[in-house]
Amino acid sequence: MKLAATILLLTIANMTVGQTGWLTTRDFPGGPKTAFGGTSDSLLVTGTADGIWVSDNEGYSWSKTNSSYIYSLLVSQQKIVAGGKGKLFFSSDRGATWDSVAVPTTYPIVKIVKNPQGQYFIIASGFTAEAGFVGDGVLFNSGDLQTWQHRNNGIPANLRSAEQLAIDKNGRLYVALPDENVSGGGGLYVSSDAGLNWNHIPFVVNNLGTVKAENTFSISLTPQDSVIVGVNGTAVNIAARLNLVKHIDDIANNSPWRPMRIRSTGNWWEDQILNEIHFAKNGDWYSSITSTLSQGGSFFSSNRGVTWSKNNQGVGISLTTQFERMFHYETSYGKMFMTQLLDSRVYWTTQSVIDPITISGKVVDDIGKPLMAIIRMQNTQLLTNSVGEFSVTVSKGWSGKIALSLFNYSFQPSSILLSNIQSSTRVADVIGTYIGNYFISGRVVNVLGEPISGVLINGLPEPPITNSFGFYVASVPARWTGTITPKLDGHSFVPTSLSITDLRSDKGEQNFTMRKNGVIYIKGTVKDESGAALAGAELQGLPERTRINSNGDYVAQVPLNWAGTIKDTLNGYQFNSIQ
């Protein structure tokens, strides 16, 4: 009866213990993700092709709040703003209700930002096989989300398929434009007057010259006030793929950009290009690279971009069959969440938790065998490992309850309360007791070994009856104690009963042999002079016709006190009689 527990565990086999790599939230409905965001109070918002899903418990459960295709999200404590195709959706009550407003564009709204003055900026763009890169550039709103105007002065009319948009702490805007002809007009543009005027910023790199941008994969603004741009293009007559860094105070001057290396081998100007970087509160950096299974995925730096490492442990691939752009959100205490473009899952890690400490323990059954149990700590759910151990990273000062669950098990203690933990803590072992059912099974045959049907097996919670093959099976609670006794009118059994004490596993081969009451069984063997069985011979002189089987054996039943002479008959043979 433990099969049901196995099935339950298989459904969450993707959740493993430990804090290396990425884990998945308990639920991640809605299908492939297209956008992601959150707030410091752990409200998660994800966009999909089927609408917006919201979780107020760090991804433990989700609710659908909108049914439109979502391309972008801007999430704050005050408002959630979502970009659709030529339309914006917004909610002021954490996604409970939504309003929408048409925007003067027919293209998908792929990025939304807000400046310190509360003004909104969006870019609307796309790509078609017929027209290539298309878009309406940058649009502006004063803060009410209702009335929008284009702000593209200084942006070439033929290059308004904006692909990146960012804003620094001073309110300066950065927009990146693709240029499929690599004419030199694409790349980075900045505005210091809320988008009224834009200036082109060339990518000048020492020992390379000016890089003409074809595509810009990211614009990231560091806590140290540098801008990092991931750009693909050409320099003179060679291809260039670079992650370029410059301080925001130096953007307007002609000083060169500094390359930030991702990989340490190969030509420095042919690097891997990062998507947008998330800068964690503890100083770690998270990003992604759109590429194949061997080259792309999740990337991490613990030294502010000096070196980068790839960490795809636990990460699935996109519907595109490769790794795609990844979106990050961080809670107030440093727990990191991530979604990947066109990947259904929602991932998390505690690798960058602020003031990290670990809570660990072990779960075993009442005979010391490790159990693979489900551990839930607030909104985090994971499994113990193959030896029953679990370890989870939390922030110093954590308070909460550790709850355990496993199908058909009870636990002692049922939960563990911890308060204001100041250092890594190992809790006492938790003992799991199986409270489900086990199977008891067996077979009833006669003295010939033939199956007997219709025998009632008494003593079990729901007494079974043997089937046409003589088998019976019954379900009893764990630790069941009792005696099982077969019953069929006019018959007795060997053994007369079987006793079971403190049952802790399925128990088979609980077999019985049936005998008819009031009769005596006569058994024997018929052989020739050489000792070979004489199959087919017939015994005469018995109350019932009795034949010899293929092994030369026979069994006959006679009444009590019967007397007589038994003779064998078989053409061509002479037998000695038995009296």
What are the strands, taking DSSP E only, across 70-208?
72-75, 80-83, 87-91, 99-102, 109-114, 120-128, 132-141, 149-150, 164-167, 173-177, 187-191, 199-201, 203-205
Q: Are the C-beta atoms of residues 340 and 326 closer than 8 Å to each other?
A: yes
Instruction: Decide if 357-434 and 437-516 have a common fold.
Output: yes
Q: What is the pLDDT of residue 550?
A: 78
| Least confident piece of the model among 225-229, 254-258, 523-527 | 523-527
pLDDT at 74 > cutoff 90: yes
DSSP 169: T
Q: What is the pLDDT of residue 12?
A: 35
- Residue 273 tokens read as 């290009």
Q: What is the pLDDT of residue 458?
A: 98
- Residue 307 tokens read as 């070196």
Q: What is the pLDDT of residue 467?
A: 98
Please report which confidence band the pLDDT of residue 539 belongs to, taking 50, 70 and 90 as the band edges. Answer: confident
Please report which confidence band the pLDDT of residue 14 belongs to, taking 50, 70 and 90 as the band edges. Answer: very low
Please report which confidence band the pLDDT of residue 7 belongs to, taking 50, 70 and 90 as the band edges. Answer: very low
Instruction: Please name the residue that has the structure tokens 């000096």.
Output: 306
**Residues 6 or more apart whose Cβ sits within 8 Å of residue 405:** 373, 374, 376
**Residues 6 or more apart whose Cβ sits within 8 Å of residue 466:** 443, 444, 451, 452, 453, 454, 455, 457, 472
Please report which confidence band the pLDDT of residue 20 belongs to, taking 50, 70 and 90 as the band edges. Answer: low
Domain boundaries, the chain: 357-434, 437-516, 519-569
Q: What is the pLDDT of residue 126?
A: 92
**Among residues of the chain, what percentage have pLDDT more than 90?**
78
Q: What is the pLDDT of residue 162?
A: 97
pLDDT at 70 > cutoff 50: yes
- Residue 297 tokens read as 């995925």
Architecture per CATH, 357-434: Sandwich (2.60)
Closest CA to 251 of 197, 139, 173: 173
**CA-to-CA separations, 272 to 102, 180, 231, in angstroms, rounded:** 38, 20, 10
- Residue 101 tokens read as 């407003």
**Residues 6 or more apart whose Cβ sits within 8 Å of residue 237:** none
pLDDT at 499 > cutoff 90: yes
Q: Are the C-beta atoms of residues 234 and 213 closer than 8 Å to each other?
A: no
Q: What is the pLDDT of residue 419?
A: 96
What is the CA 415 to chain-centroid distance, rounded? Answer: 24
- Residue 490 tokens read as 């006019």
Burial class (CB in 10 A: 0-12, 13-18, 19+), 213: buried
Q: What is the pLDDT of residue 427?
A: 96
What is the CA 282 to chain-centroid distance, rounded? Answer: 27
For 135-146, how does the pLDDT look when each residue is reduced to its tens digit (9 = 90+)? Answer: 999 999 999 999
For 240-298, how does the pLDDT look when each residue is reduced to its tens digit (9 = 90+)? Answer: 999 999 999 999 898 999 999 999 889 999 999 999 999 999 999 999 999 999 999 99
Q: Could you confirm whether domain 437-516 is CATH 3.30.70.660? A: no
Please report which confidence band the pLDDT of residue 164 belongs to, taking 50, 70 and 90 as the band edges. Answer: very high
Q: What is the pTM of this model?
A: 0.78
Please report which confidence band the pLDDT of residue 447 belongs to, taking 50, 70 and 90 as the band edges. Answer: confident
Closest CA to 287 of 315, 308, 318, 258: 308
**Among residues of the chain, what percentage have pLDDT more than 70?**
95
pLDDT at 110 > cutoff 80: yes
Closest CA to 95 of 109, 78, 83: 78
Which residue has better confidence, 540 or 218? 218
What's the mean pLDDT when you consider all of the chain? 91
Q: What is the pLDDT of residue 514?
A: 94
CA distance 368 to 431: 8
Please report which confidence band the pLDDT of residue 10 belongs to, taking 50, 70 and 90 as the band edges. Answer: very low
